Structure 1
Amino acid sequence: MKIVVTGGLGFIGSHTVVELQNEGFEVVVIDNLSNSSLDVLDGIERITKIKPLFENIDLRNKLAVQNFFKTHHDVAGVIHFAASKAVGESVDDPLLYYENNINALVYVLQEITKLQQANFIFSSSCTVYGQAEKMPITEDASVQPAISPYGNTKQIGEEIIFDVAKVTNLNSVLLRYFNPIGAHSSTEIGELPLGVPQNLVPFITQTAFGLRKELSVFGNDYPTPDGTCIRDYIHVVDLAKAHVIAMQRLLNKRNLDKVEIFNLGTGKGSSVLEVINAFEKVSGQKLPYKIVPRREGDVIMAYANTDKANDVLGWKAAFSLEEALASAWKWEQKVRS
């Protein structure tokens, strides 16, 4: 079966392509290389011995999207990662986020709902919960007003999918994931942000390697045990496997509703300082860092209740925080060597 993966050369997308090919799917990757590299295709091929078909398309180009699906009208499903994803950047440039994250989604949905089957996995985010009132966060938690334009694009994206599914053949799984980190055990693919990293772990590994002078910890006066923000850090390979399971669920018509929602996390929250300490332990590196003012758009605390994904989807995170950090450090060293 042919599966399209948009943003398939990005961090989570590339790992998902590997897991799809390992399960025997034919994969077509769409990516505009705005935050990725063609080298990732070679990494995927070295792991799986298969090079997926690649199309360099900017999904904001409606005509290009239409032409793609005219050519690939035998698509069985789409996994949609293509989106801008940095909270801080979205605060600074909201129009970029609304154009990239909303327009691309609409254009893809317009085309796949014309196909015989419209199976769609949406890369959503725990940011839709805003600052949840209760921990751990369940799928029933109310969606709070978004703190950032990025979070708002994920909320709007989910609303669009629900509306479209009511009146078309669309069947969708919304995967709300927490904080993906780590790299493939082969060190052939991993997280390699262009420019200054917007996420904690690549900034940690780059600082440990000496590419960055020091790590900035945004605030130590939050109402948490050590004053720093708490997040649920999940290994990217665990996350990738969940996307394959979710797609198989749709293809086999096991979904109970036209649109289903699942949290993907480990169920354990770790503070920024705990992540730094865990990294120092697994790497043997002392990490220089400084406390700086809070960053706009950051929630205090977010970690998942994963019971629904465990019980209904049949998926569970397998890797620990330490294992994920060790893989990220191994990847950083390989990339820089």
Structure 2
Amino acid sequence: MSAPSTVLVTGGAGFIGSHACAELLDHGYELIVVDDYSNSAPQVFARVQRVAGRFVGAVYELDIRDRQALSAVFDRHTVDAVVHFAGLKSVGASTRRPAEYYDTNVGGTTALLRTMHEHGVHQLVFSSSCSIYGEAGALPLDESVPARPTGPYASSTWTCEGILADVCRHRPEYTVVCLRCFNAVGAHPSGLLGENPRGTPDNLMPFLAQVAVGRRDRLQVFGDDYPTPDGTAVRDYIHVMDTVDAHRVALDHLADGPGMRVYNLGAGRGSSVFDVVRSFSRACGRPLPYEIAPRRPGDVATLVADASAVARDWGWRPSRGLDDMCEDAWRFQRLNPYGYEGSARRPGADRRSDGGPPIR
């Protein structure tokens, strides 16, 4: 089995997806991208082009649950493999809108798999989440630790993993690499690409960046009574550039053989909320204000990866630390205080970026 050359990226306009597009273009891949822009902006692709020096082959605005629209994309292009980022990812929002999370994350994945199969595409890199471990107990967490998801986001992601495992178990033509991503943060070192959430950010780093740039008064620290060294939640943060580099390497390892392989993708060390506040304060040159708030439903005390399996099997390790993550995130926020300019879009039919007709 040869390494893929043309890759379909779902959710390619999002935070990790856009950085992945730049990384894959930089390494010679041809890309087809689909995104519904529910938490992203089409303007990001001009920035991806500036970073990579190449165009994305084609971009389609569509919801991957729309199998007719998605099938039309596969009809137009020869796709060797898929990298699947599309989905909802907020722990807090998932507890308020659980049915929506299952519909989008699980429904989107099954629609994608059915469409892939209809078009003879059986290679997939799935961007999963460390949230599936929940209150697993044993730390650091290796891939053998049983999942104990604590909220709809984690549960829907775990359901997707189960579906992929079943597909690979019963259909030997499939090859799936599942990357359980720990907390991807930071930005492209150019300052052109970064995290650009719509509305109030649900995650620590983009919220802290908006405090640093003056868009918000202070950070809310959700809980200071966890059983951790300083009482705040501890997470394994990994630079987004390391995250997308690993997804690129995963495409190379689709050639290792059929079946599903699961890897943790983290730095292997934990940082508390206060650790991140101190590091970001150093990056922006001033102490950042915060206040303590009650814990959020679905949050757990500590999530830290044992990422030794991917190092052993692929020889891959992350190369950037927490200070690099904060410095790069601050550079993006400072240069783009309100995110990508002109990100508002007009409602309308699904559109292509290559000048072709709408896909219906």
TM-score band w.r.t. shorter chain: over 0.9
Q: Following TM superposition, by how much is the alpha carbon of 1:117 offset from its aligned partner in structure 2, in angstroms?
A: 4.1
1:21-60 paired onto structure 2 within 5 Å: 21-52=25-56, 53-60=58-65
Between the aligned partners of 2:195 and 2:328, the Cα distance in structure 1 is 11
Selected match of 1:247 from 235, 245, 251: 251
Could you tell me which runs of 5 or more consecutive residues in structure 2 were left unpaired when the two chains were aligned.
Answer: 339-360
Task: Give the match for residue 93 of structure 1.
Answer: 97
1:136-215 paired onto structure 2 within 5 Å: 136-144=140-148, 146-168=149-171, 169-215=173-219
Q: 1:18 to 1:110 in 2, by over 3 A?
A: same
Counterpart secondary structure, 1:323: helix
Q: Is the 8 A contact 1:222 1:229 kept in 2?
A: yes
Q: Following TM superposition, by how much is the alpha carbon of 1:179 offset from its aligned partner in structure 2, in angstroms?
A: 0.3
Q: Is the 8 A contact 2:143 2:264 kept in 1?
A: yes
Between the aligned partners of 1:160 and 1:117, the Cα distance in structure 2 is 17
Q: TM-score, normalised by structure 2?
A: 0.90
Task: Give the match for residue 310 of structure 1.
Answer: 311
Q: Following TM superposition, by how much is the alpha carbon of 1:64 offset from its aligned partner in structure 2, in angstroms?
A: 1.1
Selected match of 1:67 from 68, 72, 78: 72
Counterpart secondary structure, 2:19: helix
Deviations 1:228-257 (A, max 9, x none): 00000100000000001001111xx214x5
Partner AA of 1:67 in structure 2 = A
Q: TM-score, normalised by structure 1?
A: 0.96
Between the aligned partners of 1:6 and 1:285, the Cα distance in structure 2 is 38
Could you tell me which runs of 5 or more consecutive residues in structure 1 were left unpaired when the two chains were aligned.
Answer: none
Q: In the comparison of the two structures, how many residue pairs are matched?
A: 332
Deviations 1:143-193 (A, max 9, x none): 11x211000111000000011112222210110011000000111111010
Counterpart secondary structure, 1:180: strand
Between the aligned partners of 1:116 and 1:221, the Cα distance in structure 2 is 51
Deviations 1:247-280 (A, max 9, x none): 1111xx214x500000000001000011111111
Between the aligned partners of 1:16 and 1:336, the Cα distance in structure 2 is 23
1:193-272 paired onto structure 2 within 5 Å: 193-250=197-254, 253-255=255-257, 258-272=259-273
Counterpart secondary structure, 2:135: coil
Task: Give the match for residue 10 of structure 1.
Answer: 14
Counterpart secondary structure, 2:227: coil
Q: Is the 8 A contact 2:65 2:112 kept in 1?
A: no
Q: Is the 8 A contact 1:113 1:170 kept in 2?
A: no
Between the aligned partners of 2:283 and 2:42, the Cα distance in structure 1 is 31
Between the aligned partners of 1:57 and 1:314, the Cα distance in structure 2 is 36
Deviations 1:286-332 (A, max 9, x none): 11100011110001100111110111122110000000100000000
Counterpart secondary structure, 1:336: coil
Between the aligned partners of 1:115 and 1:174, the Cα distance in structure 2 is 21
Partner AA of 2:256 in structure 1 = R
Identity among equivalent positions (%) equals 39
Partner AA of 2:50 in structure 1 = R
Q: Following TM superposition, by how much is the alpha carbon of 1:216 offset from its aligned partner in structure 2, in angstroms?
A: 0.2
RMSD: 1.1
1:101-116 paired onto structure 2 within 5 Å: 101-116=105-120
Between the aligned partners of 1:289 and 1:218, the Cα distance in structure 2 is 10
Between the aligned partners of 1:182 and 1:88, the Cα distance in structure 2 is 21
